[in-house]
Amino acid sequence: MTGVAAGGSPGATRVPAVQGPILAADLGGTKITAGLVTPGGVVVARRTVPTPAAEGPNAVVAAVTAALEAVRDDVAVAGDATVGAPVAVGIGSAGVVDSATGRIISATDAIPGWAGTELG
């Protein structure tokens, strides 16, 4: 994982080990893919939806949230007790992210107004 501290340059961000599944989202200019991933790297559930980039940052954040909630609900409905509840959420985003605050500090025009959006 990489991130940028305010005023710094990209570098590695250490993420503590977790003892349960993680909800993860890959956010791009055209699509959002969300999934539930076990500590062993198995993707238990996945959803892909269009990125509503033209509708602005609030719509994009709402779409990411909805996709993550849908994946969580898919696993709950399946009733797989071996998976367990998510213990963390990770979002990979287009643009440069300040890893300390979760704020997008620069981005391309793929998502208009994305720079300045807070994800953390």
Q: How do residues 110-119 score in pLDDT, each as one tens digit?
A: 899 999 999 8
Q: Determine the pLDDT at residue 5.
A: 46
Mean pLDDT of 46-75: 95
Mean pLDDT of 61-85: 87
Mean pLDDT of 55-84: 89
Q: Determine the pLDDT at residue 14.
A: 56
What are the phi and psi torsion angles at 6 (to 5°)?
-50, 125
| CATH code of the domain made up of 20-94 | 3.30.420.40
Q: How do residues 86-112 score in pLDDT, each as one tens digit?
A: 899 999 997 899 988 989 999 988 899
Beta strands in the chain (DSSP E): 2-3, 11-12, 22-27, 31-37, 43-50, 88-93, 96-98, 103-106
Mean pLDDT of 32-58: 94
- Residue ranges per domain, the chain? 20-94
Q: Determine the pLDDT at residue 40.
A: 87
The two tokens of residue 36 are: 């539930």
Direct distance between the N- and C-terminal alpha carbons of the chain, in angstroms, rounded to an integer:
15
Most confident segment among 40-54, 72-86, 90-104 = 40-54
